[in-house]
Every structure is written in structure tokens, then in C-alpha cells.
Structure 1
């Protein structure tokens, strides 16, 4: 009798919890709720490859292999010397105009501008957005304060760029300092709100810039990465709490592919959704490591099918593979299928 009452009570509580979670995911605009539709629209960014915006040879090489790369970042910032910034802007503009009609390639082309505090980000935006084709994704580095976001958004409002946002643009920001890390969730929530004031801009994720972060706090880089473990965990927590992609740091020694694999596996186990890379040889290892296994894909497909059947039957709670299913597990399943679809596994 006691066992049956406990079973009834747990099922009742789980059913009400799951139903409330589902209602929130379908009707709430809060960033903390689960929007299953937005999950299906998230661009795949397992590996993001930086290419100097002024290096036509490297850009051509990356574009030639674009089908094998999740995201190509045309860089105006750290990868370009100060005297070459203008060349980088013009080259990127030409690349966007030349290849923007190829939708599959265009979705993979991102542009990293200079930081708002640098004083030259406005020149980046003015030239890069002057062409017929607007970038699909903009990466904004060294975001330390809400003011950095306000300045970025304000430029779009004052210029005519906002009027041209006919398709979705993703914004990805970087955390690269102690103050930026400590205030990360407040800055991220503010970024979500500010993006909503534009026609068609979506805050998609956060990149952890480990090298600038270590320089800022006076830490010494190591192969084990103990000096940035807490920072990486904090980035993941903020991203997961706001449904953002979490992009892990660069593995600097691009010749050490075994070390790259170990760090990539660690990143996956921690909860990162992707990783930065600086050499084409790093791409296959990162993307394979961040690829869901066939077993995981089958698990996700079965869970979603069971969830849909439970909804048709009017059941709020259900058990799948011995687990009582809640919204976090359902969201995880949709994320797995989203990735699998984009890599042709579903």
C-alpha cells in the first residue's frame, strides 16, 4: 500500500512538472525556458576555424573545403596586424559578395570584428556591412561590460544596417577577462534583451578566449589547463542557463593532435558545444569528438518518439530506458537530433 502511494505521488508530481515545463517551452519568451523550435534552427559550430581576413590564400583554401568545416571565421582582430586591418575588411567584403549567393557556404561564414573598446570596430562594421551580402554571424571579442553590447547595438540602430536585417544574424560574444567572467551572466542576459530591440539579430553563444584571459589574470598556460578550469566551467554554466552555445578555447599546439583530442573529449564531457581551432588539421578531430555517437542518436530518436506518443495519449510523465523523462533530457535529445541532421546522420 505504501509503495503504491509513493508510486502514485511520484508519477503525479512528475506529470505536473513535465506538463508545466512543456507549457513554458511553448509559450514563454523567457530565455530560461526551453524553446524546441529554436533548437532546430541552431547552426552547427563544433569547430570554428579562424582565417586571417587579409590572407586570400588561406581564405580560398578554407572555402574550397567548406563542406567539411562547420564554421569559417574571417578574422579582423587578433589574426590581422594593425597595418593590414583595412586590407582585411576589403577582402572580407569581396568574399561575402562573391560567395554570399551560395546559401550553404554563406551560413558557415562568420566575421570577427575588433572589440568595441579598440576604437576601430566601427570601421569594420561600416565596410563589411556595405556590400550586398550581410554576414550570417558576427563575433564580438573582449566583451567586458554591458556598455560594450550597448555600443554595438546602438551602431546598428543609428546606421541603416538595422533596416537591412532581412535574414537572421547570429551574434557570438567572447569572454576574455576577469571582470567579463565575473559579470558574464548579467552581460549575457543584457545581450539577449538588446538583440531583441533589433529587427533580426539573435544572441547565439559565448566563446571562451583563454589566452587573453590568462594574460589578464596573470596565469601561466599549461597543457593540462588547470589554470582555466574554473573559468571554463563558469562559461558552460552561464551558457546552459540561457540556452546558448558554449565554445571552448583554442588548443595552441596544433601539431599535438593527441593533446587536442584529449582536450576536446574533456570539453565534450564538461558540456561545451564546440571548440575554436587555428589549423585545418585540427578540424576533423574536433568535429568527430563533438559528433554524437550512433548509439546516442538512436537514443534521442526513441526518446522524442516516445515523448510525442505520450503527448498524444495525454500522458505528462513517461519512462524511457529506465529513466523518468524530464525537460532537460528532452532538450538534450532535440539537441542531439539537431546536430545529427546537420551532419547528415538523420
Structure 2
């Protein structure tokens, strides 16, 4: 599986030391050592694409995970399971700070807390607004909130259904909180990994809620996720037309313009600008609109 990861086209590769590894100390140590050796290879992907999910802070494995992973320049992001509060992040940050000093690490380590409990949901604002007491360079920098739906359901007794309605409140809460603090919002895994039609539907749903990305549990999911989280050609064309129309309106000293039966003003201009920016970043063709 480690070798296969090198051919993945995903935006980020998350190497898992938690649930994917048997819980015995020997298995955890062996997995950590294998991963540490693997991540020293010269053919590793760009470090900004490499993340490691460590064992949670309540386990005996956490500090050793941090010590070994922080020492690896190939890793730029940590995914942290079972983060329930800002206090948990302070604990993590202290461990990162101590390990960074020992390893003389000089690159910032991005922190991605996994929201997977009722307590975490209750404390979302404090988690998203957390800053390291040691500064971003030494204690870690928060970049995203990630939703772990299956763990969340296990903690809250929510019954998971294909409709996802039972998770609508929590998913929306995560998106809004992430956006309020300038963070990415990463949606849950689609466990029906062989059902591409359902995966597509779940991706569309996540993007409509405002998520900026989605976790993949299987390589076959990556292409569908990536293509669905990009603006469609129709969305890009509409946005380009709105920008063109608003430029003309502003040139005529008007703040709004009629477009296909709708009144377009400043908020819709902002939405159009975001769509074009995402499309450009993804290398999508932006249509030229003329009067």
C-alpha cells in the first residue's frame, strides 16, 4: 500500500498510523518504523501533499508518533483524531514544539483536527480559533477541519442513512465554523466505495454545503471527488458572464444588472469571482465573453 500511494493523484496523501494499524504496541511501533523509513525516499511526492494521521492523544502511542513524524521533512501535515477541545490542541502543540526542538525542524507543521465527537461539535469555535502558544513555526498551524462521520455517529448514537439528513446540521456547522476562521472544510469519507453513483451524489451534496474537499477511502474514489469539487463548465460560463455584465454595469455607474431573469449585484459578483478563481487554479478554461 505504501508503494501504491506514490502513484496516487489525490491532492493530499494521508498515511494512517491509527485505525489502519492493529492496536498492539508491537504493531504500532513496526508501522511507525516502516512509515518513517518509507518517507525518507527520494521519490516521495511534494511534502505539501504528505500528511500522517497519528494515534490520538489519549493513547500511549501519541508522543512516539509525534517524535518520529516531526523529524521527517517529507511530512508537512498532521491529521489528529479525536480532538475534542482547544485544550487538546494545546497538548498536541506542546508535543510538536518539544519534538521540533529535538529534531531541529525548521518548517511549519500544518495541523488538521478530526471532528468526531459531540464534545468536538460543541467546541467547534474554540477548536477553529485555536492558536499555538509557541507560534505557528514551532507549535503547529491549523489549516482545516476534517469531519469523521463514522466516529461521530458512534459517539452520538446517530443512525447513519444513505440520505445523510441526520448529519446535515453537523456538516453545515463544520463548514460555517471553518469559513469563519479561514480554514478548509474537508467532508466525510464515503464508505460505499464501490458505488460510484452514490459517491458522486455525496460529493455534489458536500460541495453544495460549502465543503472545499472530501476524504477518499479508496483510490478509485479520487477522480470522482476531484472532478465533482470543481466548478462545472456551466458554472464557469455563468460566472464569466456575470463578471462581464457587472464590469459593464460599473462602467455605466450602475451597481446591479439583469441577467437571465435574475438581478445580479455585489454578493453574486463575489460568488462569480470565487468560481473563476477556483477554475483558474485548477487550470480550467475560462470562456471569453464579448458584448
TM-score for both structures, normalised by structure 1: 0.70
Q: Which runs of 5+ in 1 are unaligned?
A: 1-57
Aligned-partner Cα distance in 2 for 1:128–1:77: 13
Aligned-partner Cα distance in 1 for 2:174–2:185: 7
2:119 — aligned with what? 179
Is 1:234 the counterpart of 2:177? The answer is no
CA-based RMSD of the aligned residues comes to: 3.1
Q: Give the 3 Å change call, closer, same or farther, for CA 157–69 of structure 1 in structure 2.
A: closer
Contact 2:185 2:212 in 1 (8 A): yes
1:284 to 223, 237, 254: 223
2:132 to 153, 173, 194: 194
Contact 1:162 1:199 in 2 (8 A): no
More helix as a share of residues = 1
Is 1:85 the counterpart of 2:37? The answer is no
2:199 — aligned with what? 260
1:124 to 33, 53, 65: 65
The CA deviation string for residues 263-284 of structure 1, in whole angstroms up to 9 with x for no partner, is 1111111111111121111111
2:289 — aligned with what? none
Shift of 1:230: 1.4
Secondary structure of the corresponding residue to residue 66 of structure 2: helix
Aligned-partner Cα distance in 2 for 1:93–1:296: 43
Q: Give the 3 Å change call, closer, same or farther, for CA 164–107 of structure 1 in structure 2.
A: same
Aligned-partner Cα distance in 2 for 1:184–1:257: 31
Contact 1:156 1:162 in 2 (8 A): no
Aligned-partner Cα distance in 1 for 2:177–2:13: 25
2:211 to 265, 272, 283: 272
Shift of 1:165: 4.9
Aligned-partner Cα distance in 2 for 1:101–1:279: 20
The CA deviation string for residues 232-260 of structure 1, in whole angstroms up to 9 with x for no partner, is 11111211222211111111121111111
Contact 1:129 1:161 in 2 (8 A): no
Contact 1:141 1:174 in 2 (8 A): yes
1:60-209 to structure 2, matched below 5 A, reads 60-64=3-7, 66=8, 68-83=9-24, 84-99=27-42, 102-103=45-46, 106-131=47-72, 133-161=73-101, 164-190=104-130, 193-194=131-132, 197-199=135-137, 201-209=140-148
Q: Which runs of 5+ in 2 are unaligned?
A: 286-291
Secondary structure of the corresponding residue to residue 215 of structure 2: strand
Shift of 1:149: 0.4
Q: Give the 3 Å change call, closer, same or farther, for CA 206–101 of structure 1 in structure 2.
A: same
